[in-house]
Structure 1
Amino acid sequence: MKTTFASYLYDKKYSEHTIKVYLIKNDRFMAWLQEQGIKAARIDYKRLLQYVKFLHTKKYKRASINGELNAIKQYFDYLVNESYRTDNPAKGLVVKGEQKKVLYNLLSSDILEDLYYSYPTDHKNSFIQASLQRDKVLLGFMVYQGITAQEVCNLQEEHVVLMRGKIIIPSTRKSNSRELELKSWQVLELQHYQQHVRAYLLNYSRTTQNEEQFFYGSKPQINGIITRIIKRVKKYNGEIRNHNHIRSSVIVNWMKQYDDLRKVQYLAGHKHITSTEKYVQDDLENLHEIVNNFHPLH
């Protein structure tokens, strides 16, 4: 039994307000299609750009046009889901001039792995050595699971399930929870951290606060740890900019590995697929060429 576009959006956990807005925008698009004698199941990318031009003639601002496109993207995803189409012609379409998160100098999986393996943990001072061992565990979560700073703060001991080789990353206000696989070499470091390092650092800090946290500390303290990690890895790889640079690289590498937006959306913990679309590297690399060849706005 075929579902409606509204039901599709409900299933995707969009809010009532967002669904209402998307339906209004889609009705506007459908009215234009009818006037042009075009069927939604047949429209291609170039014809879709004519709708962008139409909105421009109606004095829509760039941000508003991109809002219309976001709704249309969801509608085409719905058509694909219902087997009315095999592609989404609006995928990656953004009006030129809109501020967009263009990603440069991304790090390959090999470079990210080298960051982990090259991270030093030996030191003659036992506290510093324990801190470095903790930092390497955290770096592993950054380069293999793409964990965010807030997720690090929320991570508790029960979320790291070594017997299953899994980590359960808890949800935050901005991200969904997910269960991800640990690399086999992470498990060894994690075992040592759980059995020795974690308790040592807790005793050293002489605090009973946040004992369930996997990495002890307030958000400012966790941010400080991440800043020190980034500063250290920069010493042997000057391309590293910050934590977000690492996470963006991880997500784009997932894109290349899986070629599945929904899969990457889950791995990254994105609440909405539009957040994941920003990391479609082919679209980002070809954005200027696409605009110059076809885009009606300059």
Structure 2
Amino acid sequence: MLAEIKEFLDYIAIERGLSPNTGLAYAQDLEQLSQFCSRYRLNILEVSHKELRTFVAYLRKQELNSRSIARKVSTLKQFYKFLIREDKIQNDPADLLSIVQKSVRLPKHLSVEEMFRLIASAEGNTNVEIRDRALLEMWYGTGARVSEMAQLKIANIDLEGKVVKIVGKGGKERIVPLSQDAIQWAQRYLSIRHQWILDHNLKETKIFFLSRLGKAFTRQGIWNLLKRYVKRSQISRKVWPHMIRHSFATHVLRGGADLRAVQELLGHKSIATTEIYTHLAIENLKVMQLKYHPRE
């Protein structure tokens, strides 16, 4: 294995703390590039943008789908950015490679302003409002699925460590950091949760967020909760539960988060599933350019 590839893989494993499976995916992508370069007698550190485009064309001939190709292009971009930072190369040949796929149905999401307004609409001192604010803060702060929020257990929340363990599809677990706002509202909810159980003569349960009946929320129950605050925050368009997850992914990617890190936060098995959100970030840039560029 090329020394620079090994250094990059060590970097993502140690400094960025990505999982072994993620590192393996990077390694496989770069090994494919390395084999291509060897075949055509190219130096992987000296390839041009044109030669990388030839590599992408080569991938298409392998009958890979567009999402798989986009994932490999994402790996190339991360690798060559790393080489630039480490002063291994002077120019980034992958900088202008596009990972945009055509004819992709983009997931709908809320804007940051809408999301903040939605959460703030759960402002209040009643037990229900405190619970709802804690749920909305943690939901948006983790990008969890609605079913994952409904089944979240007290034992899986580590407020001192500022993380939550989310159990996803197939029982797969992932650790997601908690924002300070999510922590503060979770603490406030915990302070009234036990009294809520006593006041309503309910049985203690491992479930963190309790419905009015003292049981775990159903998906429909959380949707009804969401609709209540969408109406209160005067968001005019239709909002459904998965839009909160879409909003989380879009906003963190737009803020500069690494695609593979977002994959782990969301619990996606394949990076191709996560890549759909890169289009949302790019579409936003297009809108901003059209609005503010003096030549538009």
**Does 2:228 align with 1:229?**
no
Aligned pair 1:215/2:214, yes or no?
A: no
1:3 offset after TM fit, Å? 6.6
The match for 1:195 among 147, 168, 191 is 191
Alignment counterpart, residue 168 of structure 2, candidates 151, 172, 179: 172
Match of 1:118 in 2: 121
Query: Would the aligned equivalents of 1:153 and 1:215 in 2 still touch at CA under 8 Å?
Result: yes
TM-score by length of 1: 0.65
Distance in 2 of aligned mates of 1:20 and 1:118: 42
Taking the TM superposition and a 5 Å limit, the aligned residue runs for 1:100-115 are 100=104, 102-104=106-108, 106-115=109-118
Q: CA deviation at 1:120?
A: 6.5
Q: Return the alpha-carbon distance in structure 2 between the equivalents of residues 260 and 134 of structure 1.
A: 32
SS of residue in 1 equivalent to 2:255: helix
Where structure 1 has 5 or more consecutive residues not aligned to the other structure, the ranges are 123-128, 288-298
Which region of structure 1 is more displaced relative to structure 2, 257-266 or 244-253?
257-266
Unpaired stretches in structure 2, ≥5 consecutive residues = 287-296
2:43 counterpart residue number: 39
Q: SS in structure 2 opposite 1:183? A: helix
Aligned to 1:8: 9
- The 5 A counterparts of 1:28-177 are 28-34=32-38, 36=40, 38-43=42-47, 45-56=49-60, 58=61, 60-61=62-63, 63=65, 66-71=67-72, 73-74=74-75, 77-78=78-79, 80-81=81-82, 83=86, 84=88, 88-89=94-95, 93-97=99-103, 100=104, 102-104=106-108, 106-119=109-122, 130-160=127-157, 164=160, 166-173=162-169, 176-177=174-175
Tell me how far apart the structure 1 counterparts of residues 215 and 6 of structure 2 sit (CA, whole Å). Answer: 40
Q: Secondary structure at the match of 1:176?
A: strand
Aligned Cα RMSD in Å?
Answer: 4.5
User: Could you tell me whether the CA contact under 8 Å between 1:157 and 1:212 is conserved in 2?
Assistant: yes
- Judged with a 3 Å threshold, the aligned counterparts in structure 2 of structure 1 residues 283 and 45 are, in CA distance, closer, same or farther, namely farther
CA gap 1:150/1:202 in 2 versus in 1, 3 angstroms: farther
Change (3 A) 1:147 1:69: closer
Q: Cα gap change, 1:76/1:165 in structure 2, threshold over 3 Å: closer, same or farther?
A: closer
- Please state whether the residue corresponding to 1:279 is helix, strand or coil: helix
Q: How far, CA to CA, are the matches of 1:20 and 1:249 in structure 2? A: 26
Q: Which residue of 1 aligns with 2:240?
A: 242
Partners of 2:256 and 2:285 lie apart in 1 by 20
Q: Return the letter of the residue paired with 1:51.
A: F
Q: Distance in 2 between matches of 1:259 and 1:51?
A: 26
Distance 2:173 2:102 in 1: 28
Matching residue of 2:293: none
Contact map agreement 1:265 1:276 (CA 8 A) in 2:
yes
AA matched with 1:107: L
Q: Secondary structure at the match of 2:149?
A: helix
Aligned length: 268
Aligned counterparts of 1:176 and 1:150: Cα–Cα separation in 2: 15
Distance across 1 between alignment mates of 2:79 and 2:130: 47
Distance in 2 of aligned mates of 1:20 and 1:136:
38
CA distance in 2, matches of 1:219, 1:276: 32
Deviations 1:63-87 (A, max 9, x none): 2x54355345435534544644575
Residue 136 of structure 2 aligns to a residue in which SS?
Answer: helix
Other structure's SS at 1:221 match: coil
1:150 is displaced (CA, Å) by: 3.9
Q: Is the 1:116–1:136 contact (alpha carbons within 8 Å) kept by the matching residues of 2?
A: yes
Partners of 1:180 and 1:267 within 8 A in 2? no
Which secondary structure does the structure 1 equivalent of 2:200 belong to?
helix
Corresponding residue for residue 183 of structure 1: 181
